[in-house]
Structure 1
Amino acid sequence: TKFKSTNPEGEDSNGPSYEVNSNAGSEIPSSSEGLSSTETTLLISDHRGFDKRQQSKDSVFFRDGTRRIDFVLSYIDDPKQEGEKKVERRREFESNLLKSGLDLETEDKKDSEDGRTYFVKIHAPWEVLTTYAEVLNIKMPIRENDIPPAKENPFEFMFEPFRLPKKVMNPEPDYFTAPFSKQRQELFLIEDENSFFSPSVRNRIVYYILSRCPYGTEEGKKKFGIKRLLTNGTYSAAYPLHDCQYWKKAKDQTYGNERYTLYTQWARFLRFYKEQPLDLIRRYYGERIGIYFAWLGFYTEMLFYAAVVGLICFFYGLLTMTDNMSSIEICNETIGGEIIMCPLCDVRCEYWKLNTTCESSRYSHLFDNVATLFFAIFMGIWVTLFLEFWKRRQARLEYEWDLVDFEEEQQQLQLRPEYEAKCTQKKKNPVTQELEPYLPLTSQAVRFCFSGATVMFWIFLIIASMIAVIVYRLSVYAAFASFMESTQTLQPISSLLTPQLATSVTASCLNFVIIMILNFLYERIAIWITDMEIPRTHLEYENRLTMKMFLFQFVNYYSSCFYVAFFKGKFVGYPGAYTYMFNKWRNEECDPAGCLIELTTQLTIIMAGKQIWGNIQEAILPWIWNWWRRRKARTNSEKLYSRWEQDHDLQSFGALGLFYEYLEMVIQFGFITLFVASFPLAPLLALMNNILEIRVDSWKLTTQYRRPVAAKAHSIGVWQEILNGMAVLSVVTNAFIVAFTSDMIPRLVYYYAYSTDSSSPMSGYINNSLSVFQISDFPSNTAPMENTGAFTTCRYLVYSSYL
């Protein structure tokens, strides 16, 4: 049987014309077998005699009303812009899809809402599904599970308000399963061929065919795969359909209303206190997305305990703030008000009184107290328990989702189409004894060297930008000090805004802006150099991209925090012998109350800013973009705004959509573990963000994005190793923060070694921690321009008892 595409007027359309035999070169029979030539033509692409008004705009079937649409391809055919190459590619590609056994049905552009877009609907017949289910080793049910369920927890009633209905949590019975075998179909529970394979399995099979279907040769190289056709603009989109509208149930209940159920029971923010329907998420979106939401939910649950303990530590600091002897002495007019401090910069800065830092010393006690040490120890235990309990939870999911013997998905272990296309040389696989394409070792070495050099260049660029921010801090402090302090009273004009605080806040905001700009640029560079390396498998591609992106973002987000925590104030020198950066700018000093308050400020601005900007990007921008596309699409109200057009106007989730979600959460995990000793409220901020994050991710996935192609996964992959590494590093960084950044150790030394007042052991600590310098010993090039005070000495921060 031959097929030829025609438009409603009977003339040849600009779309592909099929001149292929449906059974030629394929062992899979076409679903059109047994039909006459006229009937087949009508089913494939002929629009004559078809009234679109008779078809519901929510229909997910071919025009015959029986064959379900498993995938949709769209393209805009404009000869003025593209020439004949794209037309030929589509003709060849769709011809090969027909040879593979798939059914195609083309919607003419005249019937589309915008009058420009063609839609190619794809249906996978039973023969195709059974063949590729065996190729992909997909497990299917053979018998219903008769193992009795575990006994219910006697305290289960306490969690009832947080539970979802059982019909939502358990959308289907539990089965014993086995890898599908086409020759042993009688062993499987096949009640209805149309519903035996779920829509997620069907679209996964179709995408597997699309990703390996050839479309010709160019420059002597074999070209294939829908990804390449999307990249070169031959097709504008490729996506499976959602099963129904998210705000209402479908009239045809044959395939359920899983999208509607997910929206009403999961994606609404008012359901934030409810558990997630993980089984339904897995069934609709696949195991890969299901395991992400399972991990995110478990992480959020564990954050609750860290947030409670952090809040208790914060309240302890708040309640004891007025009893803190250090801030009392600093704020006292007869102690801190009489201590004259040495200038914080050369020439332009004046002497200042210690009590100008009264407010910052009080706020510093909120985060730098005895509870800080306890919370650092607690978080070291928490991060270990979190990772171990997650392994247990993950193992349980592997059993429940039948992934116990799942090594890695065949689709991931098999060669990437891009690898097969670019590697023209072949060698015999010693295991399978088959010829496989390979990349010569010399070519791999050159590509890796170039990739490594590019990554190092961008890391050095981050370090250079951080140094630029440090130079900003050093250079603008004098400017802030010159107009924010009164030379007559040696006090800041505003008690709430000191030069130190103004410099710290503005530098943190500037650093955050630079971080966002570098992230935007590097994301594209990382994808480009990973493509250039030509990874062999999908798993290898994702792992390489993950390591590049994480390494970059680790340096990008945390470098400024590491500087404030471990370098600022450590290489200052002393009056008359200060150390300088580039022999020009004097290194920064810490506040007399310590650098911890600045680390807290830095951490709060970067962490909160990242979370706010991330939610804007994830929720508001897709909603605005979709609204605008729908508004442009609805230009002709007489046309049927069909389901494939509605989904076409949504955003594409993309192959890396889940990658960015993991990356965002792992970077947040670093903030609440690496530097949490300086900010006990970080877990609380993360908890509130994640409660919102779960609902935002579910809402955008259900309402604003096209349905992603289902994929399997039995774990969170390489992210598990990254989390383990950060957990080990967090123990070290928090120990160093307590030892070197906070004033915990100096206070303990003073308490046990130098305190002489038994009734108030910490009395005199401030005076003990400040050394004396004779003003007359200032070199002429560093002394203030004028000295209006009747004093001959100034104090600077160093422990005089140790000198």
Structure 2
Amino acid sequence: MFFKAVEEDIELRDRRTSEPLLPSTPSHRTCDYVLVAHKVDDDTDHKAQRQRAFIQQLEKKNITITRIVHDDKVFFGLRAPSEMFEDYKYLLKVSDSCNWCEDVNQATRIRIVNFILHHTYINTGENLEELLMKDVFETMFCLHDRKIQKKLRKDWARWSGLFTGQPLKDVKSYFGEKVALYYLWLGWYTKLLVPAAALGLVVFLYGLAFFNTNPLINEVCQSSIIMCPRCDKSCPVWHLSDTCTYAKVSHLFDNEGTVAFAMCMAIWATLFLELWKRHRARHVSEWKVYDWCEDEEELILEIVNDPKCQPKEFRHSYLRSTLVLILVTLMLILIIGLAHALVVFRVVAAPLMSEGSWDFIRDHSNTVAIMLGAVLHYLTIQIMTRVNRWVSLKLCHIEKTNSFAATERNFTVKMFTFQFFTLFSSLFYVAFFLGRINGRPGDYVRIAGWRLEECHPSGCLTDLFIQMAVIMLLKQTLNNVFEFTGPWLKNCLRRTATKKLQRKCGQCYRKACRNNQGRVEPCDICKLRDWLHNYHLGNTDAFSLFNEFLEMVVQFSFTTIFVAAFPLAPLLALINNIFEIRLDAIKMVRLERRLVPRKTNDIGVWTKVLEAIGVLAVIANGLVIGVSSDFIPRLVYRYRYGPCANGSTHTHCLQGYINDTLSTAVVSHMEVRNDFLPEQMITDGINVTQCSYRDYRSDQDYTLTSQFWLVLAVRFAFVILFEHVVVVCKFIAAWFVPNNPILVKNERLRDKLGRLTAELSEMKRCRSTEV
């Protein structure tokens, strides 16, 4: 309802102020770019001097400047000469990789002018980026095309079109291939999530179906076993039956279906990537950018900007590389240190809350500590995201790459690496270390005097599930709300600034029609109205699309890496993405300034990142099932120690499993007595002489039993077998599904033949003309 109300409000406001500009001369034909600066009355001011110097450099390149003053702002409308674009078309034709000539549309004009603006220097050596940082210019933006913008609003950027297709050709023509490929990838990812979400839901329902009849749940709920205190001093002994609800939740996410689901999701990740490559190939071939080279286009733009330019030669510095490697390592150590701080928080919070006055928090102190730790982890993610970006930019500046494309690739790898460790360090601890390094009664492992956490007798997987569920729900829900409401509120405020100009523009246009015949040029008021309309929209920059990609790739990581602990992750991702596509579309079309169109033929280094995540998903899911899950201990008990192993057919094969996984600590033993206070060993008014804890240890000397070593051996054997089987399946799937469809290969072959034949005909025609 909120999103629908917002959409109706936007539609109403757009109708009030959407009187078209001069139909014969749309705004985008009079201006390619707009620069905005604060008005400076003193001509001797250094800001005014730099403004004039930069504008003069643009005029030397034959760029037409339209200057309009409004209140305390100065707007500079820029329009590049047609000769510049003719040079661009010719260089495309003769280049090695970009040899496909097209008409220069508005998106191409914007891309070229944007490059020229960022590569124009004044006599002090400063470029536009530095001038913006020093507040010489306030901002810069390209204009939305009202006609195409209205069409995209109708066909795409609306909440009522959640389940309709995307007009990718229109998106490509307006925002460029880079944005179009993002939506193509996001749409494909969302479509492929449907079978994964359905399978995850089946696994969840499978656990729900045997909810009440599972012998492990009944064993916990009906148990009379007394467990050892969870912490020092404040925690008393407790009954295993008190955690009946926890045992039920554990079974929903730790059952026999989890193994098959994790294996399927690892193979799904490979099929998704291979099918995506085919899907991408079809579209980039249709868009005639299959052989496009981003580095070569950047070189072409350098020549268009300055025919006498010198190429940025490739260079490598071992000193710089070593420095970057050291700084990256230090940053990762810092991030891992923050994960350790979260662990300490949980270790300290659980016993403190067990002393609280609220019965619910006191009885569920461990679970509440886990949830608070997850919320704190989310807040840490929000802070570290900004820190990670700043550090990644500084590291890229140290590297001094020779092109923007190379800088973008390096930044993406560093930023994702930092984000991955920020997001998953705590999850890796919960998955693989929680409850396995805490020791035993009489020999507990401590941090600053506080005991480490223990796993529940039903297993550790529920802790991982809680951590993932809180982070995914908070991250996706809150991020989408903030991401949308910010530009929307700004969009509401900017309407009041353009109402007066709306009326003046109509008067100006009617007067011009009376005084002139034929084509009518827009007056300054009409230009200013449209410029202000774009000026008050949300700001966009080179990171706008990167942020969307990063958000989705992180979600892909959550959906695949620890999916064994959270089978509902694909379903949550699917629901989020259905809204994400329209949310991003509404932002880009209605609420934000127009993104600078970028030409490309792939999602770039993100493909390599996704492939790395796919490999990591195999390793992580194998370890989660083999190490974190109770699947292996239950399997060993069923066939080696349980009733069925002894030939019994009258009881369930897992009957007695919970009791088998518990060891007993005798309070009278000296080493155990040192860890527990006498008041901790009282329950229901009775002094307890012994208590149970989760481990495979002897009740006499607390040494590890043979069952522990057998379970450990089977765990490692399963991990190795699982990973080898899944990796082989991944290779078979990658081999079986070719990256390029036969249709695309044949189309490219015919296209190359046509170009070569045309060149040969042109050469023969020139020869005959000379003769």
With the length of structure 1 as denominator, give the TM-score of the two structures.
0.76
Contact 1:74 1:237 in 2 (8 A): yes
* CA pair 267-64 structure 1, distance change in 2 beyond 3 A: closer
Equivalent position of 2:637 in the other structure: 750
Deviations 1:343-393 (A, max 9, x none): 112233211111111100001111100111111111011111001000111
Give the corresponding residue for 2:522.
none
- Does the 8 Å CA contact 2:442/2:674 hold for their aligned counterparts? no
Query: Which residue of structure 1 aligns with residue 409 of structure 2?
Result: 543
Q: Which residue pairs with 1:739 in the alignment? A: 626
- 3-state secondary structure, aligned to 2:140: strand
Contact 1:343/1:784, CA 8 A, preserved across alignment: no
**Contact 1:347-1:781 within 8 A present in 2 as well:** no
Alignment of 1:460-475 (within 5 A): 460-475=333-348
Instruction: Give the partner amino acid of 1:328.
Output: N
- CA shift digits 1:513-548 (9 cap, x unpaired): 122112122222322332343221011110111111
1:311 to 182, 201, 204: 201
- Structure 1 residue identity aligned to 2:545: L
- The 8 Å contact of residues 60 and 241 in structure 1, kept in 2 or not, is answered as no
Structure 1 distance, partners of 2:28, 2:207, is 68
- Any residues of structure 2 matched to 1:55-70 within 5 Å, and which? 58-59=20-21, 67-70=29-32
For residue 228 of structure 1, what is the amino acid of its counterpart?
E
Distance 1:783 1:265 in 2: 69
Q: Does 1:698 align with 2:659?
A: no
Q: Are the equivalent residues in 1 in contact too, given 2:62–2:80 (CA < 8 A)?
A: yes
1:97 corresponding residue in structure 2: 58
- What code does the residue aligned with 2:37 have? Y
Q: Which structure dedicates a bigger proportion of its chain to helix?
A: 2
Q: Is 1:642 paired with 2:515? A: no
Cross-structure match for 1:572: 438
Other-structure match for 2:689? 792
Aligned residue for 1:761, secondary structure, equals coil
Aligned-pair CA distance for 1:440: 7.6
In structure 2, do the counterparts of structure 1 residues 70 and 527 end up closer, same or farther at CA, with 3 Å as the change threshold?
same
Letter in 1 for 2:149: R
The amino acid that maps onto 1:263 is R
2:668 is paired with a residue of what secondary structure? Answer: helix
Instruction: Please say if residues 201 and 571 of structure 2, whose CA atoms lie closer than 8 Å, have aligned partners that are also in contact.
Output: yes
Q: CA deviation at 1:467?
A: 1.3
1:631: Cα distance to partner?
4.5
| In structure 2, C-alpha distance between the alignment counterparts of 1:633 and 1:778, rounded to whole Å | 82
Structure 2 vs 1, CA of residues 228 and 790 (structure 1 numbering), >3 Å: closer, same or farther?
closer
Residues 1:783 and 2:648 are matched in the alignment: no
Matched, 1:203 2:96: no
SS in 1 for 2:76: strand
Post-superposition offset of 1:433: 13
After superposition, the Cα gap between the structure-2 partners of 1:472 and 1:211, relative to the gap in structure 1 and judged at 3 Å, is closer
CA distance in 1, matches of 2:192, 2:596: 30
Please state whether the residue corresponding to 2:122 is helix, strand or coil: strand
Kindly state the Cα deviation for residue 70 of structure 1 after the two structures are TM-superposed. Answer: 1.8
Judge conservation of contact 1:73–1:238 (CA < 8 Å) in 2.
Answer: yes
Secondary structure of residue in 2 paired with 1:501: helix
CA distance, structure 2, for counterparts of residue 414 and residue 451 of structure 1: 30
Residues 568-717 of structure 1 correspond to what in structure 2 (within 5 A)? 568-582=434-448, 584-631=449-496, 640=525, 642-717=529-604
Alpha-carbon distance in structure 1 between the residues aligned to 2:345 and 2:593: 45
Any idea what SS the aligned residue of 1:525 has? Answer: helix
Q: Distance in 1 between matches of 2:417 and 2:388?
A: 11
- Unpaired segments of 5 or more residues in structure 2? 1-16, 505-524, 698-704, 709-771
Aligned counterpart, 2:612: 725
SS of structure 2 residue aligned to 1:773:
strand
Which segment is superposed worse, 448-457 or 719-728? 448-457
**How far is the alpha carbon of 1:627 from its aligned partner?**
2.9
Choose the corresponding residue for 2:388, options 507, 522, 534.
522
CA contact (8 A) 1:326 1:762 kept: yes
Task: Supply the distance in 2 between the matched residues of 1:94 and 1:62 (Cα, whole angstroms).
Answer: 28
2:661 corresponds in structure 1 to: 769
Q: Is the 8 Å Cα contact of residues 28 and 106 (structure 2) preserved in structure 1?
A: no
Instruction: Please report how far the alpha carbon of residue 57 of structure 1 lies from its aligned counterpart in structure 2 after TM superposition.
Output: 7.2
Distance 1:553 1:347 in 2: 38
Contact 2:63/2:79 (8 A) holds in 1? yes
Q: Deviations over 1:77-99 (max 9, x none)?
A: 2246x953332233233223233
Aligned-residue offset at 1:506 = 1.2
Match of 2:168 among 278, 295, 315: 278
- Residue identity in the other structure for 1:327: I
| Structure 1 residues 796 and 116: CA distance shift in structure 2, 3 A | same
Q: Which residue pairs with 2:240 in the alignment?
A: 354
Identify the residue that residue 326 of structure 1 maps to in structure 2: 216
Contact kept? 2:88, 2:301, Cα under 8 Å: no
Long gaps (5+) in structure 1: 1-54, 140-176, 181-187, 189-195, 245-256, 422-431, 486-492
SS of 2:564 mapped into structure 1:
helix
**Bigger shift: 268-277 or 346-355?**
346-355
Shift of 1:341: 0.7
Instruction: Quote the residue 2:40 is aligned against.
Output: 78
Task: Say if 1:473 and 1:507, in contact at 8 Å, map to a contact too.
Answer: yes
TM-score (norm 2): 0.79
3-state SS, counterpart of residue 328 of structure 1 = helix
Taking structure 1 as reference, are residues 437 and 695 closer, same or farther at Cα in structure 2, changes over 3 Å only?
A: closer
Task: Give how far 1:642 is off.
Answer: 0.8
Matches within 5 A, 1:368-387: 368-387=254-273
Q: How far is the alpha carbon of 1:512 from its aligned partner?
A: 1.4
Segment drifting more, 406-415 vs 519-528: 406-415
Matched-pair contact (CA < 8 Å) for 2:220–2:658: yes
- Code of the aligned partner of 1:200: A
What is the aligned counterpart of 2:74 among 104, 114, 118?
Answer: 118
Partner secondary structure for residue 540 of structure 2:
coil
> Which residue number corresponds to residue 393 of structure 1?
279
Cα shift readout 1:42-84 (whole Å, capped 9, x = no counterpart): xxxxxxxxxxxxx99753799999953222222112246x953
**Which residue identity lines up with residue 289 of structure 2 in the other structure?**
L
Higher RCO structure, 1 or 2 (CA under 8 Å, sep 6+): 2
Matched, 1:481 2:354: yes
Q: In the aligned structure 2, how far is the partner of 1:638 from the partner of 1:259?
A: 22
Query: Cα deviation per residue 1:525-573 (whole Å; 9 max; x = unaligned)?
Result: 3223323432210111101111111111000001111000000011122
